[in-house]
Structure 1
Amino acid sequence: MFLRRENVPFAFVAEADRFRSNVTPPPRERMSRTQTAARSLVGLTVVAGLAGSLLFGMPALEPSRTAQKSQQSEASQER
């Protein structure tokens, strides 16, 4: 934070930045095996979905040369 250049009339306002509580928060509960398994399955499902979309999507994004040749041959056959 920035340093204050003017005096603050109230001491508690000046010390508010340094205040620490003596109350400790309760400890975190550990996740159960079911929760851990569920989170890992969701993560694996998301990763598998992304990998599958890349696997099936990449051939569709490549320019297809065989489709252009077949269209030209169909046009030449109709004449």
Structure 2
Amino acid sequence: MFRRRESVPFSFVAEADRFRSNVTPPPRPRSTVSERAGRVLVGLAVTGGLVGSLLLGLPALGSGESPSHTQQTEASHRR
């Protein structure tokens, strides 16, 4: 494919980096009470899910030895 190269003056490229617009964007609309309440509820649901999964997953991260297991092995060694 043939590409057509157009020369771009260096001053134009340098000026493009410095250009700032004097037009200010319109102010953002304020969020309503229901929108804020929805965000809070979503945040609480996500946080609750993470805490719940941590609480349910902690037993699986344990060493795997329960007190009854150690008592059985000690009893078998005493015989």
Q: Same fold per TM (> 0.5)?
A: yes
TM-score of Structure 1 vs Structure 2, range by shorter chain: 0.5 to 0.7
Specify whether residues 9 and 42 from structure 1 end up closer, same or farther in structure 2 by C-alpha distance, changes over 3 A only. Answer: closer
1:44 aligned partner: 44
TM-score by length of 1: 0.63
Q: Which amino acid aligns with 1:36?
A: R
Q: Unpaired runs of 5+ in structure 1?
A: 1-7
Shift of 1:17: 1.6
Q: Unpaired runs of 5+ in structure 2?
A: 1-7
2:13 aligned partner: 13
TM-score by length of 2: 0.63
Instruction: Please give the alpha-carbon distance, in whole angstroms, between the structure 2 residues aligned to 1:12 and 1:66.
Output: 74
Once the two structures are superposed, residues 13-48 of structure 1 have per-residue CA deviations (whole angstroms, 9 ceiling, x without a partner) of 332221111211111111111111001110011111
1:1-79 matches, cutoff 5 A: 9=9, 11-66=11-66, 69=69
User: Post-superposition, which runs of at least 4 consecutive aligned residues in structure 1 deviate over 6 A?
Assistant: none
2:5 aligned partner: none
- Aligned residue-pair number: 66
- CA-based RMSD of the aligned residues comes to 2.8
Using CA pairs below 8 Å that are at least 6 residues apart, which structure has the higher relative contact order? Answer: 1
Q: Percent identity?
A: 61
